[in-house]
């Protein structure tokens, strides 16, 4: 009897470590704050409770340059995470440094992922030199928010209740009509910030046939950069767009009804949704892709992507890699909830689903994913890059009246071109 009890006890004790070993723990780093952070924490919790094979241990670090620097230094000493979020616009800077581990086609196919599941421009941005360095989670882009009441009063809505503002002359005429009908500004923008100005400026530049931001080692090889700068400046000069406006003030102009429209990223959808839900907005609102001002549709876009850091000192193990692939696949397949932050899911089956097509205004502006204009594939491009600094230092002063467009472009060229390798 005693031998039987001892055998049973030994069996139980031996089984405990085996159960512990069955769960692969994955170290996760992200830079997601605000509504994005809340939603991602919820998704991580859902993943952890949905199965017992893999557990995510997540940490949120400071957004921007500090995050990317931390990744670089941690990988150098073999203390990197197993999985991280990364902006696709930063890949051209990260890949040459060797800090990103590419995924093979067979690794991705093992969890049902591949180019057929993503928008072409989004997938292309994740691929450099024929290798896939990340898996897009979303597309986040600039859109045009609008006050349906004010645009309706000015006769600027079509039969579907959407803005009828394509064409730069038509858009400008619409801004004038809105001002004539009582708006202080036709549209607001964070015109004091290089990042926001870049998103609109780059969108318009990409709408011009043949226009380029970079050609080899030349920045702004033709006069289209000056053309776009001058156009935005003209809206501000005519007081159709707010000037030297900080980010919170640009939003407040729209929510207060002083600006009939507002250029901003899709990430502000939750802001306006919550205000309307709590009866603090005072008008009906919507969001659409940026109007086609010139020759073709194009909208600045970036993506949050999943990537695996590479370390010569301590490469990721196959066990951890399989766990990471499972995490990425699950996050993509469950990204409908992520879309409530305003993002367009990178995973096309979600965008094509009936549930997403009922999600507004996301479903209305999802068409922009087909013509997304990602940052140039360059070491000087991407989030918190020299290009963003140049927009802040030269284009922002120009549109606000302190520099002539041609002068601003020349100064930007002089600053950026020596940095191109």
> How far is residue 342's CA from residue 337's CA, in Å, rounded to a whole number?
10
Mark whether 347 and 389 lie in a shared domain: no
- Domain assignment present for residue 307? The answer is yes
Q: What is the pLDDT of residue 22?
A: 85
Range of the domain at 197: 141-301+385-419
Claim to verify: residue 186 and residue 104 sit in the same structural domain: no
| Whole-Å CA distances, 296 to 144, 167, 204, 252, 292 | 17, 10, 10, 31, 6
Residue 112 lies in a domain: yes
Q: Is 207 contained in some domain?
A: yes
- Shared-domain flag, residues 186 and 246: yes
Residue 136's region, left for phi above 0, alpha for psi from -120 to 50, else beta, is beta
Radius of gyration of the chain (CA): 24
pLDDT value of residue 421: 80
Answer yes or no: is 5 within a domain: no
Q: Is residue 98 part of a domain?
A: yes
What is the CATH classification number for the domain harbouring 100? 3.40.190.10
Q: What does 144-189 look like in DSSP terms, one character per residue?
A: EEEEHHHHHHTT-B-TTS-B---SHHHHHHHHHHHHHTT-SEEEE-
Q: Are residues 389 and 336 in the same domain?
A: no
Q: Both 174 and 104 in a single domain?
A: no
Q: Are residues 110 and 191 in the same domain?
A: no
| Six-digit token string for 44 | 């991580």
For residue 64, the model assigns a pLDDT of 87
Q: Identify the pLDDT of residue 1.
A: 47
Q: In this structure, is residue 14 part of a structural domain?
A: no
Burial class (CB in 10 A: 0-12, 13-18, 19+), 37: middle
Same domain (yes/no): 188, 318: no
Report the alpha-carbon distance of residue 373 to residue 198 in Å, rounded. 12
Residue 18: predicted pLDDT: 46
Work out how many domains the chain is built from and give that number.
2
Cα–Cα distances in angstroms (integers) from residue 323 to residues 43, 89, 326, 337, in the given order: 16, 26, 5, 22
**What's the pLDDT tens digit per position in 2-33?**
455 455 455 554 555 544 458 999 999 999 99
Tell how far CA 77 is from the center of its chain: 30
Predicted pLDDT at 21: 57
Question: Do 402 and 361 share a structural domain?
Answer: no
Whether 11 is covered by a domain: the verdict is no
Q: pLDDT tens digits, residue range 222-267?
A: 999 999 999 999 999 999 999 999 999 999 999 999 999 999 999 9
**Which residues are CB-contacts of 139 (< 8 A; sequence separation ≥ 6)?**
119, 122, 301, 302, 303, 343, 344, 345, 346, 368, 369, 372
Task: Assess if residue 219 is contained within a domain.
Answer: yes
Same domain, 147 and 263: yes
d(CA 219, CA 210) in angstroms, rounded, equals 14
Give yes or no: residues 249 and 145 share one domain.
yes
Give the span between the Cα atoms of 221 and 133, in whole angstroms.
30
Is the domain of 261 the same as that of 328? no
Spans in the chain with pLDDT lower than 50: 1-2, 5, 8, 13, 18-20
Helix (H) or strand (E) holding 65: helix 65-76
Q: Are residues 56 and 158 in the same domain?
A: no
């Amino acid at each position: 009897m005693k031998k039987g009890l001892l055998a049973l006890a030994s069996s139980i004790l031996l089984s405990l470590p085996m159960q512990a070993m069955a769960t692969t723990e994955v170290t996760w780093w992200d830079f997601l704050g605000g509504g994005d952070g809340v939603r991602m924490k919820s998704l991580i919790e859902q993943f952890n409770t949905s199965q017992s094979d893999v557990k995510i241990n997540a940490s949120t670090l400071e957004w921007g340059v500090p995050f990317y620097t931390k990744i670089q230094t941690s990988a150098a000493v073999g203390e990197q995470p197993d999985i991280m979020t990364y902006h696709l616009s930063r890949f051209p800077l990260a890949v040459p440094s060797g800090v990103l581990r590419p995924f093979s086609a067979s690794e991705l196919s093992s969890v049902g992922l591949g180019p057929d599941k993503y928008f072409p421009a989004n997938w292309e941005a994740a691929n450099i030199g024929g290798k896939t360095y990340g898996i897009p989670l979303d597309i986040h882009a600039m859109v045009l928010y609008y006050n349906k009441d004010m645009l309706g009063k000015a006769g600027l809505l079509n039969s579907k209740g959407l803005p009828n503002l394509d064409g730069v002359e038509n858009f400008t005429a619409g801004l004038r009509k809105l001002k004539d009908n009582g708006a202080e500004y036709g549209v607001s923008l964070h015109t004091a910030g290089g990042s926001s100005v870049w998103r609109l400026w780059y969108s318009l530049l990409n709408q011009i046939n043949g226009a380029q931001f970079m050609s080899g080692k030349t920045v702004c090889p033709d006069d289209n950069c000056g053309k776009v700068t001058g156009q935005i400046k003209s809206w501000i000069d005519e007081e159709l767009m707010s000037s030297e406006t900080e980010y919170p003030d640009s939003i407040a102009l729209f929510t207060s009804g002083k600006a009939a429209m507002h250029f901003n990223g899709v990430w502000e959808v939750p802001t306006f949704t919550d205000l309307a839900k709590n009866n603090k907005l005072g008008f009906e609102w919507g969001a659409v892709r940026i109007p086609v001002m010139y020759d073709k549709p194009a909208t600045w876009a970036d993506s949050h992507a999943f990537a695996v850091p590479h370390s010569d000192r301590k490469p990721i193990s196959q066990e951890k890699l399989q766990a990471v692939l499972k995490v990425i696949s699950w996050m993509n397949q469950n990204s409908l909830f992520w879309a409530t932050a305003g993002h367009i899911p990178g995973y096309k089956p979600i965008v094509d689903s009936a549930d997403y097509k009922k999600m507004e205004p996301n479903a209305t502006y999802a068409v922009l994913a087909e013509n997304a204009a990602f940052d140039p594939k360059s070491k000087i491009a991407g989030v918190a890059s020299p290009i963003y600094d140049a927009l802040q230092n030269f284009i922002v002063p120009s549109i606000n009246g302190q520099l002539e467009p041609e002068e601003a472009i020349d100064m930007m060229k002089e600053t950026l071109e020596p940095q191109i390798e």
